[in-house]
Homo-oligomer: A and B are copies of this chain.
Amino acid sequence: MKKPIGVFDSGVGGLTVAREIMRQLPHENIVYFGDTARVPYGSKSPNTVLRFSRQIVNFLRTKDVKAIVVACNTASALALPTIQEEIDIPIIGVIEAGAKTACEVTRTKHIGVIGTEGTIKSRVYTQCLTKLDSDITVVGKSCPLFVPLVEEGLVEDRVTDDIASRYLGELKDYNIDTLILGCTHYPLIRNTIARIMGDQVKLVNPAYETTKSLKELLARKGLLMKEEKKEPVYEYYVSDAVERFISFADGVLPCNVSEENVNSIDIESYELGKDN
């Protein structure tokens, strides 16, 4: 089915998920939306994140997408359960798949989750994990400075080490053997996190498992693109200016991103009930 897959995030972090889709599903067309005018979502309230996510879903539907991936952990936590009931095309987030992997990986059944304030406060990973296995105990920790540190380029830096040691220090007391990277920016400081947590703690990046779930879902629904020799089409939309997005995307994606395939749109006009 030639219709594109819609992928959205609060900003550029979700490109790590788009990259995984390009790798695992190389024939699929993708429409990516990054809400760069209103980023970040992590410190905002559930109602606001839900309103923003609904506007984005409305926008993606105008692009005739066959399925939607919520590549943002905060939106997956705060908006996905509601939106899932409101639309008739498949929509998946990053949380279930990440939780499933963590469940398979853990031996001690003590799992840690790091993410934004919104994700951790929602306790959605805890609910998901204990539903999969009621013996599991979960400890969550929000890490508000990780996103600004990554965006400032301090990926390998003593300040990032210092902040990470404080955030993660608490988790080390809980004897966890598995840690979910519950925010799309965190895989970019994976090395720092791994060094502090030590070899005995396995890190789970939900992007990989989410894409596997997406593939299964599309296959089950008969929505997979038939293999073709044609190059897939990737389109990108953002709510703020395109320049900054292009420079970040160029560093993350394996393909060319330029002003030709990135457009800025007025996302606020996609409120349900307004004329689009």
Is A246 in contact with chain B by the CB < 8 A criterion?
A: no
Give the contact stretch, choosing among A17-25, A97-105, A123-131, A141-149: A141-149
The smallest beta-carbon distance between A267 and chain B, in angstroms, is 9
The reply to whether A48 and B37 contact each other, CB–CB distance below 8 Å, is yes
Residue ID in chain B nearest A52 by CB atoms = B37
Q: Which residues of B contact A149 (CB under 8 A)?
A: 145
Is A261 in contact with chain B by the CB < 8 A criterion?
A: no
The smallest beta-carbon distance between A145 and chain B, in angstroms, is 6
The smallest beta-carbon distance between A255 and chain B, in angstroms, is 24
Give the contact stretch, choosing among A64-72, A155-163, A197-205, A221-229: A155-163
Is A16 in contact with chain B by the CB < 8 A criterion?
A: no
Number of interface residues of A (CB under 8 A): 24
The reply to whether B158 and A152 contact each other, CB–CB distance below 8 Å, is no
Is A76 in contact with chain B by the CB < 8 A criterion?
A: no
Name, among A43, A47, A152, A268, the residue most crowded by chain B CB atoms within 10 Å (CB to CB): A268
Q: A48-B241, A271-B268 are in contact. Are A151 and B144 (CB under 8 A)?
A: yes
The reply to whether A45 and B240 contact each other, CB–CB distance below 8 Å, is yes
Is A239 in contact with chain B by the CB < 8 A criterion?
A: yes
Bound Cα distance from A244 to B48, whole angstroms: 13
Residue ID in chain B nearest A242 by CB atoms = B45
Bound Cα distance from A149 to B149, whole angstroms: 10
The reply to whether A44 and B144 contact each other, CB–CB distance below 8 Å, is no
Is A38 in contact with chain B by the CB < 8 A criterion?
A: yes
Residue ID in chain B nearest A158 by CB atoms = B162
List 11 A-B residue pairs with CB atoms under 8 Å apart, sorted by A's residue number: A43-B151, A43-B244, A44-B241, A45-B241, A48-B239, A145-B148, A148-B148, A159-B159, A159-B162, A159-B163, A268-B268
